[in-house]
Chains A and B, each alone.
Chain A
Amino acid sequence: GENVEQHPSTLSVQEGDSAVIKCTYSDSASNYFPWYKQELGKRPQLIIDIRSNVGEKKDQRIAVTLNKTAKHFSLHITETQPEDSAVYFCAARYREYGNKLVFGAGTILRVKS
């Protein structure tokens, strides 16, 4: 089946601290894992993605790690800033269903200044 679980549902951190959001997926055939950031009332915006042939990817303050054996992947944000406050969604691509993305339930990140 297709399922993506995301934890935690809410996360509050102090400005400058790190934030980690974790997701697990059910289908071992999944090979692409994007992360989207969504501000209130706005569109989901792709912030980073990782493919199954890579274990880690970094882009400035954002990094994603993938453990294919355990079927989980994580988003790491370092040196958080107030503008990082948003809802973050992980997703997994299920190839046998076309190019379908199955999303996690989302994590509300609050960065307190």
Chain B
Amino acid sequence: QVQLVESGGGLVKPGGSLRLSCTASGFTFSDYYMSWIRQAPGKGLEWVSYISTSSSTIYYADSVKGRFTISRDNAKNSLYLQMNSLRAEDTAVYYCARDPSAGHFDYWGQGTLVTVFS
């Protein structure tokens, strides 16, 4: 069965960095687009970043552009999100999600919590 498992969340001070990972299993990872989506405490969903199957196309939300970097390693069935210059408003649960069509998200991980506070 399809599984997406995020890791790497935690507590970090403003200005700090974290690297999130998402390990995929149960499907051919290299065949699917992937995205990161986040949810601040008590708030709605916010799409963060997208990467195509070959990493040739990458998009970011304006709120993270220039600070976050998405990447993937198809040989390791893994998706990453390097987060730099973190701010309090980046505090959220971060989900990785599988995208079969460059348009919607058919499977989601359980999320990893990132807390930015001083």
A interacts with B: no
